[in-house]
A and B are shown apart, each in its own frame.
Chain A
Amino acid sequence: MKFKTGAALLEQCEKNHITISEAMIRREMEISGTERAVILERMGRAWQIMKDAVQEGREGNLRSIGGLIGGESKKLLDHISSRSLMRKAAAYAMGVLEVNASMGLIVAAPTAGSSGVIPGVFMSVQEKENFTDEQMMLALFNAGAVGYLITQNATVAGAEGGCQAEIGSAAAMAASAVVELMGGTPEQCLAAASDVISSMLGLVCDPVAGLVEIPCQKRNATAACNALICAEMALAGIASPIPFDEMVTAMYRVGCSIPYELRETALGGVAATPTACALCDQILCARNNK
């Protein structure tokens, strides 16, 4: 089972009466020559790491190496009286970024800088809907299919396409997976992914002091909420006229026109504000005095 575009993927799903995650599992078996059980087990381990990272983050004992973040996940959870889906997704996503920035174990999904979005969305949805771990693990193949299509036809690297390509892709992957979990069609999955990309188009990559801390952590949180909203819109049957493949191309073209200063170089955007520059100096000074 081979497909290189969203359109080809939908065609395969329709022809074989299968979900996107099933198509992705069959593709993986074919390209790797590995048995289904081995592939599922490997994805199960990724899911376990994601869950552990959410847990480690919510406990609130982490401090990033750069010293700019730590404890936000717990703070947000403690503050929330009614723990809505959206708020939990945001808090969990923030926690995973804390784990990442403090040298904990994460799954790059698709990258380390965007590693909070999928665990945040997945954990909050699982808690609300009582999905089994196996259902969540299978949904990761759906997310993987969207991530693969973006990698194949555009990029998921912040240094190449900005934050839209990195955290934007993570959110598109999460949205599509949620639609499948909630019983939506393959078309609705890619519509949700397409809506996420269009709503995050143009977002630049501008990390303070070059570290994966500010604004990455909060962008993971807001992107997780974005994914949930776009999934809801698709499930409600709201049309998404621009096809997924065209949206991916649009994202890539926008990425190519983002200037060098706004692609992970820490020379523009948030990173270039006077306060960010002062923070950067502070971090470097603190280290030189060590």
Chain B
Amino acid sequence: MEDISVFDVIGPNMIGPSSSHTAGALKIALMARHLVKGPVQAVTFRLFGSFARTYRGHGTDRALIAGILGFDTEDRRIRDAYELAEQAGLKVTFEVDTQDQDVHPNTVRIQLVDGDGRVHSVEGSSIGGGEVVLKRLDGVAVNISGSGCTLLVKHIDKPGALAYIATCTSQWNINIAALAMHREARGETAYAELTIDSPAPSSMLDALRAHPLVTEVTQIII
């Protein structure tokens, strides 16, 4: 167990009423928002388990919208997320699924339509105390927790990609705390997911993007 900080006990500072149903939900949506470049024109949230049953009473719906709008968990505007989404021209849809038993009780599947009409999908679960895990990105199984800095490198599943990523982190003196690889299938789209101890500078992100096997680089800082 990691050392418990005094601010884990006197904190987090958050918009109520529930760390898992409000703050956690917002974080999942915020991480999903980071994964889409440029504007989002429409979003559909499919809710499961406890999210599906109690989302309105816990303000889960407003928190999810607020995450897509880019707000953090302390933002007092979360209350007015529906109105603010309308003003921003964001089309919002909610669906509930109380049948699926195979997912974590606080799970949401988010479908985002970007400015060019492309559809992105993200599945995440709120696992308690405001902590979250992203489980799926565009159909690929992942396991991303939103704490600290996460670097997500989408690439083609071929030899050399990871070596290049590691070389970059070494060159820019970025320490890797954890590393995981996920792929659709052999030779197809894959993700390298790095938890890093300090944010990667944009020069490093550009260097990663320059490699022929790398198709997309996203840094998520929560």
Contacts and interface: CB of A to CB of B under 8 A. Distances in A.
Contact of A65 (B53, B56, B74): B56
A212 B4 CA distance: 25
A179 interface: no
A147 interface: yes
Interface stretch (B6-14, B147-155, B199-207): B6-14
Contacts of A106: 13-16
Given A105-B74, A209-B57, A28 B12 contact: no
Given A140-B10, A147-B9, A111 B19 contact: yes
Given A65-B59, A157-B128, A101 B9 contact: no
Interface string A23-52: 010011001100000010011011001000
B13 A49 contact: yes
Contacts of A107: 10-14
Interface string B5-33: 11111111111111100100000000000
B10 A46 contact: yes
Name which of A27, A65, A102 has the most chain B CB atoms within 10 A of its CB: A65
23 contacts: A28-B6, A39-B6, A45-B13, A46-B11, A65-B17, A65-B58, A100-B17, A106-B14, A107-B10, A108-B14, A109-B10, A109-B11, A112-B18, A113-B17, A144-B7, A144-B9, A147-B9, A148-B8, A148-B9, A151-B4, A210-B54, A211-B58, A283-B57
Across the A-B interface, give the 6 residue pairs with the lowest CB-CB distance, nearest first: A100-B16, A147-B9, A144-B6, A31-B3, A103-B79, A212-B17
A159 B62 CA distance: 24
B10 A101 contact: no
A66 interface: yes
A103 B17 CA distance: 6
A102 B78 CA distance: 11
Interface of A: 24, 27-28, 31-32, 39, 42-43, 45-46, 49, 64-66, 99-113, 115, 118, 140-141, 143-145, 147-148, 151-152, 156-157, 159, 173, 209-213, 283, 287
Given A65-B59, A109-B9, 18 more contacts: A24-B6, A27-B6, A31-B3, A45-B13, A46-B10, A65-B58, A100-B17, A103-B16, A103-B78, A106-B14, A107-B12, A108-B13, A108-B19, A144-B7, A157-B129, A210-B58, A211-B57, A211-B58
A231 B6 CA distance: 22
Contact of A104 (B3, B76, B129): B76
Contacts, number: 122
A103 B9 contact: no
Interface of B: 3-19, 22, 50, 53-54, 56-59, 62, 74, 76, 78-79, 128-130
A65 B22 CA distance: 12
Contact of B16 (A24, A101, A118, A156): A101
Contact of A105 (B14, B18, B19): B14
A187 to B, nearest CB: 21
Nearest to A104: B16
Given A65-B57, A66-B57, A107-B11, A211 B17 contact: yes
A46 B16 contact: no
Nearest to B6: A144
A31 B5 contact: yes
Which of B16, B18, B19, B130 gathers the greatest number of chain A CB atoms within 10 Å? B16
Contacts of B17: 64-65, 100-101, 103, 112-113, 211-213
A211 B13 CA distance: 19
A111 B10 CA distance: 8
A103 B62 contact: yes
Contacts of A27: 6
Contacts of B53: 210
A125 B128 CA distance: 32
A21 B189 CA distance: 52
A43 B16 contact: no
Contacts of B9: 109-110, 143-144, 147-148, 151, 156, 173
Given A109-B10, A151-B9, A209-B57, A104 B4 contact: no
Contact of B10 (A143, A159, A211, A212): A143
Nearest to A147: B9
A103 B12 contact: no
B15 A104 contact: yes
Contacts of A148: 4, 6, 8-9
A31 B2 CA distance: 10
